Structure 1
Amino acid sequence: MMALVELPDIQFVEQDVDTVFLELVTVFQGITGRTLNRSDPEMLVMRAFAQLFVQQRVLINQVAKGELLRYARGVILDYLGEPNTPRLQAEPAVTTERFTLSIPLVTPQIIPAGTRIAPDGAEGTIMFATREAVTIPAGNTTVDVLIECLTPGVIGNGFLPGQLTTLIDPLPFVASVTNLTTTAGGADTEDDDSYRERIRMAPESFSTAGPEQGYIYWAKTASAAIVDVAAITEKPGEVTILPLLEGGIIPTQEILDAVTEKVNSRKIRPLTDKVTVQAPGVVPYDIVLTYYINRERAAESAVIQAAVIKAVESYALWQKSKLGRHINPSELISKIMNAGALRVEVVSPVYTPITDLQVAQDANINVTFGGLAND
């Protein structure tokens, strides 16, 4: 993420009610030639008008600030990104599906584009379909083809290998179908924060010299599911790109292929660069800790325990949502303390440096409530 310049909060028009009230009194006295006393009824009227004017000025400030990239949201942000950096729309999850024939055939067997497959027990609530037509050559019994979820978004993510086995559109001689990889890459429409960051990085994409931020920008455009990208060069002319998916998910081969196709475009990659896209290395760690709650807050114990569990989950997500983020138990302790714990005894993790080629992921989580304690 590009570092932001430290700037003060901007205010286009004055919105302090006392200042506006004094302005109204000054104008009134200047026009009428009267000096108002605190008990004059005109003072109450102008106080009411001051409240109304301040509400309008607050709206003016919000609208004016919304035209700046740092504050823009929603459709205004879409206009700021248009036309060179459009918002990434929702994308379907993808995986590789294998079609297997019951016997080898003497003629090629066509698997049409749009052939639908569903997971067992889904009852039609979620389906996948082949992106393109493929052919099983004569004498062969299998073919692998890319399939995508018919419902864009994260709903199609997370189906493990061997779970997409129901062929909705029967085909002659096709005995079975199964997915070879976990479905991934499904993403909802790009949120404002991610979109704002891409707009800010867009000027880097104009360069044809292969800058680091330029490669990161183009890699992120390959899928809305990508939340972080590292572009590393260890030898002149050789670039390694490592994408990371939302929720700290390691990209599947299908996502890696999509990024590879994007960054190797003739209009993006310098001819002298050799660009390789690979998944980041995983550094596993365990969360093992015991926490205590202040005895004076015993009545809140159940609420605090639930908040601590959410804090641990929040930490695990934070830790794996960025490449090169060091394993930091201080962040874990901070979140648990903010959730209401009196003190925390952490056995694991310990502080561990992580390189830009790696991402830390929680393996086992063991959180123990140690009971009530005194300050």
Structure 2
Amino acid sequence: MNDLNIHNESSEEILGRMVNKYEELSGVSLGLADERRWLLQTVAYSLFIRNETTNEGLKMNLLRYTKGDYATEMGAFTDTERLGAKKASVLLNFEIEEAKEHLLGVNPVRVTPGNNIYFLTPYFEFKPGETIKEVIAICTKEGIVGNGYLPGEINKIVDPFPFFKSVINMEISQGGAEIESIESLKERIRNAPSKFSTAGPGDGYIYWAKTANQEIIDVNVEMTAPGTVRITPLMKGGVLPTDSVLQDVKAICSADKRRPLTDNLLVNKPTQINYNIDFTYYISNKNIGLVNEIQENVNKAVSEYVTWQKAALKRDITPTELVYLVRNAGAKRVSIVSPVFKKVNSFEVAKEVNVNPKYGGVEDD
């Protein structure tokens, strides 16, 4: 399929065909230095460029090959728009100095971890007797710049209000995303036909769940009981979604035209299945001059395994994959203590805890 073209002639083949036809009609042989041959060569090259442009235009009409703005336009056939950049969100905990007997309203305020990144709250209120209020704040900048602030790092207020005491983020900030990649858009276009059913198919829920945030890389949909559907999204890098991302997924999947009336939706975080990496590897004495390079490659292989293991839900913890990668990195022998093979369920994701590769030295073949 990679060679799907209307025109397959090279410029040399086009030139040969033109020269042969000219000689046939004129009865004159064109030598390599003949100026008429040079003229035909110019025309042949121009025709070749035109043919290549036509081939490329054909491919832009096929989802497998399309790219750029062509892919964006192809989404119109299935009502699939390219997702724009999104802002990160985070759960904040505000505290005032003392409880009040009256309602204390707070206009939108900005908080920051101390740099040029700001999170803006909506209007919120402390009811009589309350000293603590949890509020979801949205980053003022689009994209991934607002992601990754750990609990406790967002703790400075830019717009203090009366009786303010402290603010702190209760969860890692998440949900910010750049404009959707073309590959992600094409994958959603492939899945788009499922969204037109009103019967609530799993693929339909998967499609809509992924429209909540382009950082969602995998979604599991299961019926846990008659009338109850559990949706489990996973973020890039094996990161668990925050509560605000789960709310977005549930809101999108619960729309009247997407959720059957008989479905009760539960949107949950994946369950993490912890595992350790502990092994000793040995290098052949034939590669003694490459010890440092092999050690570096082994460390990269371990990182690759960790990334692969948590890149999807329901991916079993598989030590054979780790052995393959380490041996491919140059190790002669691998003695594994952990991980051991473990089944991972459809709503679970593997998560590394302790990573401890050990170099055992050089040994004979």
Task: Give the TM-score, by structure 2 length.
Answer: 0.89
Q: Are residue 254 (structure 1) and residue 248 (structure 2) matched?
A: no
Secondary structure of residue in 2 paired with 1:159:
coil
3-state SS of the aligned residue for 2:153?
coil
Q: Secondary structure at the match of 2:191?
A: helix
Structure-2 residue corresponding to 1:82: 76
CA-to-aligned-CA distance 1:292-329 (integer Å, 9 cap, x gap): 45555555544443333223212211211111112223
Deviation of 1:41 (Å) = 4.7
Question: In 1, Cα distance between the equivalents of 2:283 and 2:52?
Answer: 43
Q: Quote the residue 2:257 is aligned against.
A: 267
Q: Corresponding residue for 1:128?
A: 119
The CA distance in 2 between the partners of 1:187 and 1:310, in whole Å, is: 27
Q: Give % identity.
A: 36
1:152-191 aligned within 5 A: 152-191=142-181
> Which has the larger displacement, 164-173 or 305-314?
305-314
Segments of 5+ residues of structure 2 without an aligned counterpart are none
Q: Distance in 2 between matches of 1:161 and 1:223?
A: 21
Tell which deviates more after alignment, 234-243 or 24-33: 24-33
Summarize the Cα distance change of 1:340–1:79 in structure 2 as closer, same or farther, 3 Å threshold: farther
Q: Secondary structure at the match of 2:321?
A: helix
Q: CA 1:300/1:170 → structure 2, altered by over 3 Å: closer, same or farther?
A: same
- CA distance change for structure 1 residues 348 and 53 in 2, over 3 Å: closer, same or farther? farther
Task: Give the gaps of 5 or more residues in structure 1.
Answer: 1-6
Q: Does 1:317 align with 2:320?
A: no
TM-superposed deviation, 1:100: 0.7
Quote the Cα distance in structure 2 between the aligned partners of 1:106 and 1:299: 77
Question: Shift of residue 116 of structure 1?
Answer: 0.8
Distance 1:190 1:293, change over 3 A: farther
Match of 1:4 in 2: none
Q: Measured at CA, do residues 175 and 268 of structure 1 come closer, stay the same or move farther in structure 2, by a change above 3 Å?
A: same
Q: CA RMSD in A?
A: 2.7
SS of residue matched to 2:249: helix
Label 1:338 to 1:32 Cα distance change in 2 as closer, same or farther (>3 A): farther
SS at structure 1 position matched to 2:141? coil
Amino acid in structure 2 at the alignment position of 1:99: F
Q: CA deviation at 1:235?
A: 2.9
- Asked whether the 8 Å contact 1:25–1:43 carries over to 2, the reply is no
- So what's the TM-score if we normalise by structure 1? 0.87
- Say yes or no: does 1:102 pair with 2:92: no
Is 1:24–2:18 an aligned residue pair?
yes
Q: 1:217 aligns with which of 207, 227, 230?
A: 207
CA distance in 2, matches of 1:43, 1:329: 68
Q: 1:96 to 1:302 in 2, by over 3 A?
A: same
Measure the CA separation in 1 of the matches of 2:195 and 2:164: 46
Task: In structure 2, give the amino acid aligned to 1:129.
Answer: L
Q: Matched residues in 2 for 1:9 and 1:336: separation?
A: 36
Equivalent residue in structure 1 for 2:276, among 286, 310, 313: 286
